[in-house]
Amino acid sequence: MGQLIKMMDYVSRYEVDMFRYPGQFIRLKKQQWGKTKAKETEAVDIDKLKQQFLDHIFDFQMKWASSTVREKSYVDMELYKDPNLKYFLQRFPDTYLVLYRPIFKLKKAPVEVEIIIISPTTTWLITILEGDENSVFLGSNERFWTEKSGRNDKKVLSPMIELDRMDGIVRTIYSLYGIDLPIRKVILNRTGYFDFPLVPYDVELVEKRNYEEWFTSLRKMSSPLKHMQLKAGNALLQYCQTVCVRRMD
C-alpha cells in the first residue's frame, strides 16, 4: 500500500516527522496483517479478507493524513470514495510515498497540483486524463487537446500544462534542498488511447496498450525506503499548505 503523506491541505503525521512515520507505518501494517491472518477461517475467501484488510488500512491512512496528536483537519467525506486515491494507495508498494492533490505555497498564490509519488528511486509526477471508454486523445503542443469518441470531438485542457507546473515546483524545491532523485512525468489514461507523435522526450504516455507493463514495473519495486527518498518527501512537505485546528480531545 502506498503511504499517503499529504492530501490536499490537510495536516499530516508525516509533517511532524517524515523520517519516522514511513517505517512505523510499514511495521504497523505487517503487525495488523499478522493479526488478521490469525483470525482467518475457512469460511472467509482469501481475496475477500485481503480487501477488507486494505480497506481498514485505507481508513487508518486517512486518519494519519488528516490529523496529528494535537491537530486535525476536516476531511471532505467524498475523498473516502475517491477511486483514484484508493487506486494509488491500495495497489502500489508500501515504500511509495503519495502526495494527493497537495497545495504548494511558493512565491505566488497557493497552487494545487495532481499526484506526486516518491518511490525509493524515482519521483513520479502523474496527471490523469481519462474520458469515454476507448476514446482517443489527440495530443499537441497547443493549449487544448481533442478527445475523439465515435463521431464526437471534445476539447480538453492540455495535461502538459499541469505536468510542467508540477515539474517546476518539484525541481525548484529539490534544488533548494540538494535532492538528487530522478523525476519522471506521466499522463495516465487507463480507459483509452493517445495519439501524440511528437510527445516530449521527458513525458511518458501510459494508456491501454502499455498500461499493464507500466503498472507491473512499479508494483515490482522491492527496494526498501531510502534516505534520499525521505529527504525528498520532507522537502516537499515544507512547502505544502496546511489548514487545521487544535484537537479538543
**Residues 103-129: tens digit of each pLDDT:** 999 887 899 999 999 999 999 999 999
d(CA 199, CA 208): 17
Quick one: pLDDT band at residue 43, thresholds 50, 70, 90?
A: low
- Whether 41 has a pLDDT exceeding 70, the answer reads no
The proportion of the chain whose per-residue pLDDT surpasses 90, expressed as a percent, equals: 80
Q: How confident is the model at residue 46 (pLDDT cuts 50, 70, 90)?
A: confident
**Average pLDDT value over all residues in the chain:** 92
pLDDT in tens, 172-183: 999 999 999 999
Of the listed ranges 4-13, 49-58, 86-95, the one predicted with least confidence: 49-58
Contact (Cβ atoms closer than 8 angstroms) between residue 20 and residue 5: no
Q: Is the pLDDT of residue 42 over 60?
A: no
* Spatial separation of the C-alpha atoms in residues 29 and 60, rounded to whole Å: 10
Backbone angles phi, psi at 180, to 5 degrees: -110, 90
The residues pairing with 100 across neighbouring beta strands, listed in sequence order, are 7, 115
Contact 242, 11 (CB under 8 A): yes
pLDDT at 47 over 80: no
The more confidently predicted of residues 228 and 41 is: 228
What DSSP state is assigned to residue 223? Answer: P
Q: Is the pLDDT of residue 233 over 90?
A: yes
In the predicted model, is pLDDT for residue 240 greater than 60? yes
Q: State residue 76 phi and psi, 5-degree precision.
A: -65, 115
Q: What contacts 30, CB < 8 A, 6 or more positions away?
A: none
Instruction: Judge whether 64 and 11 are in contact, CB under 8 Å.
Output: no
249: pLDDT confidence band, cut at 50, 70 and 90?
Answer: low
Euclidean distance between CA atoms 106 and 237, whole angstroms = 12
Structure confidence at residue 227 as a pLDDT band (50, 70, 90): very high
What is the pTM (predicted TM-score) of this model?
0.94
- Residue 208 phi/psi, 5-degree rounding, is -55, -30
112/75 Cα distance (integer angstroms): 16
Helix 159-177 and helix 227-238, axial crossing angle in degrees, nearest 10: 110
Indicate whether 52 pLDDT > 90.
no
Question: Long-range contacts made by residues 138-145, C-beta under 8 angstroms, separation at least 24?
Answer: 138/195, 138/196, 139/194, 139/195, 139/196, 139/199, 139/205, 140/196, 140/198, 141/198
